[in-house]
């Protein structure tokens, strides 16, 4: 279904309720449509016949969720055209558009086979928060930032950008929602990805008046105009961003760490001056599964195949591109379901759709069938309540986990997400288990604790955009409360991490024991809150390196690593190095940064004992309002390699 075929008339359905509702009928359809799946009360479905006022009002009501709300929202747009393009050249005059900010725990999905099957004339956008709304943008006193604009997403649709201020923002003296013609703003930080999105114009990743942001991820998308991230050397801007397997008109911006892999239209590499690294292709990748409706209005899930050395966007839905799973092959879980109920369905061979809500699990969700798909809608949260794991994957291949939040419970878990049991299960390169948009939180919404967030024991696994976060604010966030040693431990071989964000754990954020591992883009903040240097020692070493490649590893690659400190306890605290890795010809690290955002202390070296100190006491002004930024192009250097030989 492409836009050229959208003469189809779709009857209005409005909001899906907890009861089964018959699906809207296509004009001319001779037989009644099959019953629409019961996705529960937290899924909203729009059709082209839904009044724009209803669409905008519903989205506006979702946009006010607080940061640690218990509410969750999935929004579906059936194939068709929404809104008018009459004001596209002058948004101030636009009427009849879809125009809404996307708030916390809201995921927006088009339900076409292709992003081109759903056209939004208007804007589904994210704006910075003004800490001082009565300031003045001329002197930067608005203090706009997007540093907590987390947990929201958009996928599988086309936007013709026509953006105006909306809601409370429109009432401010200086609204953030103002945008130039043909420009959509997505000013976000972690866990706010764009996937399979087609933007018929420009995409702005910072604020109208500039904004601090620690942003996120674009995959398998097309931006026909410019992507504008801001000039981080001169103003508030996106500090870092990862763009994968996409097509863009051009990129306008620079800062700490921008990585592109397989992006047509990406800028040339210039890490030393602009923090930009461009890889022509992504060596191993697999796109996230997605829900769509076919020509007979039947719901299906498409599971893309893995790719090697891919570049550009690819929206093909065919047997050659992946597999189609009818909705009948899925158990549709609700927050009231127990882990036992869910596991019984999995044992019967069902895949799993996790509808929006908060799930309390007395035991782990256990996946033992190869190829099982677990698809979360609208940021569902899974919390283990008895100190067990939330998810355990067996020694199998081809499992897809997508769109999930894992929240640690008050009783400490050893591991929250375990992929395989310790051992030597090889997996399959052509059918890798993949974790897409899987996020872990230790504290924040509630008191929680877990020694390790994610442990990967199987080989041939892809980690596709994951944020593992020991909370630095919210409920139960103190050094002695949300205890957590490590974000990620990789024991399997041939594991690829694409867009890995790991923050604030109390020891090493990442430990990589497996061979032939690869990371493309890594963002990490060390813990803010060690009470003293004595309390944060790794034997005789000051602090804990963020990213550790184990001493015995012979082969490892990592590109685009940015590691930050913000020690806030009023005393100098240092980490000996940002990264630890063995010196070996097949251990190759490039485009690395150690930085002090503000506060005290810093990082002595970038890798091992290589690279100068990033120190709060020695500001260098490389990035706007960031105290110190140190860059290292490559490790080992040519001289180190010769010495090692």
pLDDT at 35: 67
Residue 635 pLDDT > 90, yes or no?
A: yes
pLDDT at 423: 87
- Residue 272's SS3 state is helix
Work out the average pLDDT over 276-281. 99
Work out the average pLDDT over 329-338. 98
Categorize the per-residue pLDDT at 424 as very low, low, confident or very high, splitting at 50, 70 and 90: confident
pLDDT tens column, 398-419: 999 999 999 999 999 999 999 9
pLDDT at 28: 30
Round the average pLDDT of the chain to a whole number and report it.
Answer: 94
Note the CATH architecture for domain 329-525.
3 Solenoid (2.160)
> How many whole angstroms separate alpha carbon 518 and alpha carbon 497?
6
Q: Which two tokens stand for residue 64?
A: 């006010």
pLDDT at 14: 32
**Cα separations (Å) of 316 from 43, 108, 302, 303, 643?**
26, 20, 10, 11, 49
Residue 104 pLDDT > 90, yes or no?
A: yes
Rg of the Cα atoms in the chain: 23
Q: Is the pTM of this model over 0.85?
A: yes
> How many whole angstroms separate alpha carbon 211 and alpha carbon 140?
10
Work out the average pLDDT over 608-623. 96
pLDDT at 597: 98
Catalytic residue among 116, 287, 525, 580: 525
If one looks up domain 3-280 in CATH, what number appears? 2.160.20
| Vertex 342 angle, CA 340 and 343, to 5° | 65
pLDDT tens column, 11-68: 323 333 222 222 333 223 334 445 689 999 999 999 999 999 999 999 999 999 999 9
What is the percentage of the chain residues whose pLDDT exceeds 90? 92
Residue 6 pLDDT > 70, yes or no?
A: no
pLDDT tens column, 202-221: 999 999 999 999 999 999 99
pLDDT at 638: 64
Work out the average pLDDT over 485-504. 99
Residue 645 pLDDT > 80, yes or no?
A: no
- Residue 521's SS3 state is strand
Q: Does residue 636 have a cis peptide bond before it, meaning omega lies within 30 degrees of 0?
A: yes
Give the burial string for 144-172 (b: 16+ CB within 10 Å, else e): bbbbbbbbbbbbbbbbbbbbbbbbebeee
Is 329-525 in the same CATH topology as 3-280? yes
**Cα separations (Å) of 55 from 58, 104, 193?**
5, 17, 22
178 Cβ contact partners less than 8 Å away, ≥ 6 residues apart: 163, 164, 165, 208
Mark whether 392 is an active-site residue: no
- The domains of the chain are located at 3-280, 329-525, 560-645
Categorize the per-residue pLDDT at 641 as very low, low, confident or very high, splitting at 50, 70 and 90: low
Q: Which of 17-31, 233-247, 399-413, 441-455 has the lowest mean pLDDT?
A: 17-31
């Amino acid at each position: 279904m492409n836009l050229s075929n959208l003469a189809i008339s779709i009857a209005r359905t409005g909001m899906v309720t907890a009861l089964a509702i018959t699906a809207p009928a296509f004009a001319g359809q001779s037989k009644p449509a099959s019953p629409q799946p019961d996705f529960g009360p937290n899924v909203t479905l729009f059709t082209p016949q839904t009044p724009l006022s209803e669409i905008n009002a519903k989205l506006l009501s979702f946009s006010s969720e607080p940061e640690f709300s218990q509410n969750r929202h999935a929004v579906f747009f059936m194939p068709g055209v929404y809104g008018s393009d009459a004001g596209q050249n002058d948004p101030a005059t636009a009427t009849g558009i879809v125009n809404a900010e996307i708030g916390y725990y809201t995921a927006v999905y088009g339900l076409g086979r292709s992003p081109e099957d759903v056209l939004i004339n208007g804007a589904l956008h994210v704006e910075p928060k003004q800490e001082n709304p009565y300031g003045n943008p001329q002197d930067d006193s608005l203090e706009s930032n997007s540093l907590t604009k987390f947990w929201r997403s958009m996928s599988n649709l086309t936007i013709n950008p026509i953006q105006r201020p909306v809601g409370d923002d429109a009432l401010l003296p200086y609204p953030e929602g103002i945008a130039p013609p043909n420009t959509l703003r997505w000013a976000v930080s972690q866990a706010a990805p764009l996937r399979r999105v087609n933007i018929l114009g420009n995409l702005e990743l910072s604020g109208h008046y500039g904004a601090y942001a620690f942003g996120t991820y674009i995959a398998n998308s097309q931006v026909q105009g410019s992507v504008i991230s801001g000039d981080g050397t001169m103003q508030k801007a996106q500090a870092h961003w990862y763009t994968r397997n996409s097509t863009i008109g051009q990129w306008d911006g620079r800062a700490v760490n921008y990585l592109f892999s397989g992006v047509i239209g990406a800028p040339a590499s210039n890490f030393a001056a602009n923090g930009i690294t461009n890889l022509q292709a992504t060596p191993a990748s697999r796109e996230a599964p997605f829900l769509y409706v076919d020509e007979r209005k039947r719901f299906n899930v498409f599971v893309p195949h893995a790719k090697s050395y891919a570049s550009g966007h690819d929206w093909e839905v065919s047997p050659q591109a992946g597999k189609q799973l009818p909705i009948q092959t899925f158990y549709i879980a609700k927050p009231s379901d127990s882990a036992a109920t869910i596991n019984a369905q999995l044992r019967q061979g069902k895949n799993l759709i996790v509808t929006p809500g908060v799930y309390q699990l007395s035991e782990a969700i256990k996946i033992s069938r190869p190829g099982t798909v677990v698809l979360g809608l609208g940021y569902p949260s899974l919390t283990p309540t008895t100190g067990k794991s939330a998810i355990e994957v067996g020694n199998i291949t081809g499992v897809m986990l997508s769109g999930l939040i894992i929240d640690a419970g008050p009783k400490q878990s050893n591991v929250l997400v375990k992929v395989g049991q310790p051992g030597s299960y090889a997996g399959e390169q052509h059918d890798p288990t993949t974790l897409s948009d899987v996020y872990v939180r230790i504290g924040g919404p509630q008191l929680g604790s877990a020694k390790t967030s994610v442990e990967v024991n199987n080989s041939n696994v892809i980690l596709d955009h994951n944020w593992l976060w020991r909370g630095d604010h919210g409920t139960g966030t103190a050094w002695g409360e949300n205890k957590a040693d490590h974000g990620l431990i990789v024991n399997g071989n041939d594991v690829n991490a694409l867009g890995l964000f790991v923050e604030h754990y109390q020891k090493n954020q990442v430990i990589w024991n497996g061979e032939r591992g690869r990371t493309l883009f890594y963002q990490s903040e060390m813990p803010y809150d060690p009470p003293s240097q004595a309390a944060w020692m790794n034997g005789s070493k000051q602090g804990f390196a963020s990213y550790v490649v184990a001493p015995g590893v012979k082969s490892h690659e990592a590109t685009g690593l940015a590691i930050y400190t913000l020690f806030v306890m009023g005393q100098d605290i240092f980490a000996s190095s940002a990264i630890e890795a063995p010196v070996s010809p097949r251990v190759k690290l490039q485009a690395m940064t150690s930085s002090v955002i503000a506060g005290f202390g810093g990082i002595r070296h970038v890798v091992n004992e290589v690279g100068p100190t990033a120190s709060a006491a020695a500001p260098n002004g490389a990035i706007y309002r960031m105290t110190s930024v140190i860059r290292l192009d490559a490790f080992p250097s040519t001289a180190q390699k010769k010495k090692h030989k």
